[in-house]
Every structure is written in structure tokens, then in C-alpha cells.
Structure 1
Amino acid sequence: MFLLFYPLRVIGIVAVSYAVCVALMYELIRRYWPDHPTNLKGLALGGGTVLSLALLVFAYWGWRKIWEVCPKLNEWLFPDLNGRWDMTIHYRKPGGVGEISATAVIKQNWLTMSMEVLAQDSDSQTLAIVPKKDSESGRAQLFYFYRVVPKKTSDGKSEPYEGAASLRFFAEGTKQLSGNYYTSVATDGHFKLVRQ
């Protein structure tokens, strides 16, 4: 989700804000406690350590607590998609069409995101996910690139292949992700995921 914001701008804002806070604290200490032996380097390094730990806690755990307290952030910024999803895969391939049920597990923190899909005949692993907000509708989207690894069953002929999907998040009613996908083995179809 960090990529939704301009990363260099965010890093710059945090760095400049921190430098201003250290300078203000140093000036306040110097002005109101002139006899206090304040070490500017120690103040900056100690504060930097605390800031680094706070940002680490926020990136991996804290943001979800903030989203729970203020659920509007799911709309304003990006939804918390963590968890298990019931998935229906509608497919088209040269031999015909069909439907498969699967389970998707989405793991998301402030810095990374992955979606693993567990189906009867195959599993998939994330190659890359790019979260995005649609500029016109404001709806959350995922551009999902993955590798499917077929389970070696009786035919034993299937080899791993790659795919790409564009999924849109629908928050009204039943929370779901859905969108079309395409694969490197000339199949395509539609994914529909409903949160368990």
C-alpha cells in the first residue's frame, strides 16, 4: 500500500518533519534549561531509533489497528484485504469452459502484499501485486501476477505457467474482488473472490 502514495515524497516528509522536531526540541531545551547537558547527536539518534521502531510497528501491525478504529480509511486510502476468501474461477480453454472452486489467502501489510490460491488440482504463488485506486471511481484495484503450479495427478503432463489478473474490490453488500485473468498457456476467464 506504500506504493499508493508517492514513496519518495512520504520519505521526504517524514525526514524533514523529524529534523524540524529535533531542532525544535534542542532549541527548547537550550532556551528553558540552559544548564542541561544536551547532546544534539544523542538526541537525534535516540529519536531516530524511536521513530524507526514506531514506523516498523505501524508498517507491519499498527496500520490494521488504525483501520479498525477508523473504518473510513478503507474507503479513503485502501481496504484491509487480509484473510481467507472463497474463490470461484471461471475458465475458458481450448477444450471448453468450466468452473473451479478454490481458497485464496491474502496477506497484506503496509509494505507488501501476496495472494496464494489453493485449488484441488493446483496452487498458485504471487509473483507481484500492484495495488491501485481507480482515478475515476475511487475503487480499489489489484493488478495480480502469479505462477500456477499444477499438482502432479494421474496425467502428470501439466507444467507451471504464469498468469495476470486485474481485480476490482466491491465493498457494497458482500465484500468481494472480481476481474478477468489471462495466462501464458492461452487460457482466460474470470476470478470472483468473496471474503469468508
Structure 2
Amino acid sequence: MFRIINFSSLIKLAVGLTVFFSIAVYALILHFSPTTSLFKLFSISSAVTALLIFLIGSNFTARRIWSLMRLFDGSLFPDINGAWEGEITFEGGQLTARAVIRQTLSHTQIDLHTPTSKSITLESTPVSESGQPRLYYVHRVTPQNPNWQIYTGSTLFDVRYVQVNGEKVLELSGHYYTNRKTNGRIRLRQIGGDCLQDVSYY
């Protein structure tokens, strides 16, 4: 399975940066205060490690690291954070749909809304199959009508760029299946990068 980035490489990079910056800061301190003990190096390395972990774990910083890494490796999974809209097609009809996606280096959360229901993510896994980015998505749907039963579904999204009015935008497209033995197709297109946008219908 292909995750967004290679965590083995990321950990090696974090360790290398920790050692480098810890020694550099310690050398700088020694330059101005030659009597500083070696114990300070361990304190500095702990602080540098904590800072690097915070930066890597922060969504704001992670997206910048991610964008930078995509400059060197275009095959990395695209950044799908933001607001989306499209439709759900099923036997006998179609519903408009809106979603907000919050994605970090370690997880992907999709909140999908239609005029009659809300869905939350139970599990999502970004993968690359023969160079094609895809997103496995398992969700729980809560209908607006309290008399309707809550159910679960799964979708395998193709993640691709499409041309819309001469502009290149990201699209998620795939078939869904539910435990109510229903199926259909979901298509969503990214309309913005704001992960805080309200996309609910009710």
C-alpha cells in the first residue's frame, strides 16, 4: 500500500535534521559560552526533536512539506484538502453532493453531505495502483429522516485532474456500495482549498 509519503524516509530525514541542528546549535552556544556542558546538547536535541515532530504533524506545515516534495516527485498523492461538490447517481435518480476533505500526512477525513443525509469517514486509505492515485473510502451515513436507518458504504475513488472551463481541477470519481445492497456512483470536483468551509445542507 502506498501512503502519501514514505514514512521510513521521513523518519530518517527527521533524525538526520535533529542531529545536524542539535550539533549546530550546540556549536553556536559553545562559541559564545565555551564552558557550556555536553549535557546541554541532549537538552537541545530533545527540543529540536519536539519541534520537528510538531512541524511534521501540523497540517499547515505538512502541506508545505508535501507541496515541496511533489515538486521533486510528481507521483506523490495529490493534496486533496478543501471543499468539493458534485453528485451521487443511483438507480432511479441523482442527488447533489458537497464535501469537505481534511488530509494530513497520516490520515484523510471526508465529510460528505447531500440534501437528505450526512456521511462521516470510518476509514480512508490513499493508494497508488499502476501509477494511478486512488482513495479507498469507508463511511457511515446518517439520513436526515430519523425513521430511516443508519447504514455504511464503501467507495474506491479514482483521483485525477480534469479540465473544467479551461482550468485543471481535481476530481474524485467512483462506484459506491452499501450494506443496504444499494450501489451507485459518486463524482466530486474540488472547488477550493478551504478545509473549514461549511458544505452542509441542513
How big is the shift at 1:98?
1.6
SS at match of 1:75: coil
Residues 74 and 80 in structure 1, CA contact (< 8 A), matched pair in contact too: no
Task: State yes or no: 1:185 paired with 2:184.
Answer: no
How far is 1:180 from its partner?
A: 1.1
Whole-Å Cα distance in 2 between the matches of residues 22 and 50 of structure 1? 7
Contact 2:120/2:140 (CA < 8 Å) preserved in 1? yes
Amino acid at match of 2:15: A
- The answer to whether structure 1 residue 148 and structure 2 residue 141 are counterparts is yes
Q: Describe the SS at the equivalent of 1:186.
A: coil
Give the equivalent residue in structure 1 for 2:48: 50
Distance 1:44 1:7 in 2: 25
CA distance in 2, matches of 1:36, 1:132: 52
Cα shift readout 1:137-179 (whole Å, capped 9, x = no counterpart): x2321101100001126xx2x1111111110111242321101
- Number of residues of Structure 1 aligned to a counterpart in Structure 2: 184
Residue 163 to residue 194, structure 1, CA distance change in 2 (3 Å): same
Partners of 2:73 and 2:161 in 1: how far apart?
A: 9
Q: Please, what TM-score do these two structures have when normalized by structure 1? A: 0.77
When Rg is computed on C-alpha atoms for both structures, the one with the higher figure is 1
Residue 116 of structure 2 corresponds to 121
Give the aligned partner of residue 152 of structure 2. Answer: 162
CA contact (8 A) 1:73 1:79 kept: no
The reply on whether 1:87 has 2:86 as its aligned counterpart is yes
Q: Judging changes above 3 Å, is the alpha-carbon distance between structure 1 residues 191 and 43 closer, same or farther for their aligned structure 2 residues?
A: same
Provide the C-alpha distance between the structure 2 equivalents of 1:111 and 1:45, rounded to a whole number of angstroms: 28
Q: Give the structure, 1 or 2, with the largest relative contact order (CA under 8 Å, sep 6 or more).
A: 2
C-alpha separation in 1, matches of 2:136 and 2:83: 18
Shift in CA distance, 169/130, structure 1 to aligned 2, threshold 3 Å: same
Aligned CA distance change for structure 1 residues 45 and 172 (closer, same or farther; 3 Å): farther
Q: Secondary structure at the match of 1:4?
A: coil
Paired AA for residue 90 in structure 1: T
Pairwise CA distance, 1:48? 2.8
Unaligned runs of 5+ in 2: 164-168, 192-202
Name whichever of 56-65 and 143-152 sits farther off.
56-65
User: Who is 1:76 aligned against?
Assistant: 75
Aligned Cα RMSD in Å? 3.2
Structure 2 residue identity aligned to 1:145: V
Q: Does 1:139 align with 2:132?
A: yes
How far apart are the structure 2 equivalents of 1:171 and 1:74?
Answer: 17
Distance across 2 between alignment mates of 1:5 and 1:68: 11
**Alpha-carbon contact 2:87-2:94 (below 8 Å) kept:** yes
Instruction: Tell me how far 1:113 sits from its aligned partner.
Output: 1.5
Give the Cα–Cα distance (whole angstroms) in 1 for the partners of residues 143 and 73 of structure 2: 35
Q: Which residue does 1:15 correspond to in 2?
A: 15
What stretches of structure 1 of length at least 5 have no aligned partner? none
TM-score, with normalisation over the residues of structure 2? 0.75
Partner Cα separation in structure 1 for residue 14 and residue 109 of structure 2: 27
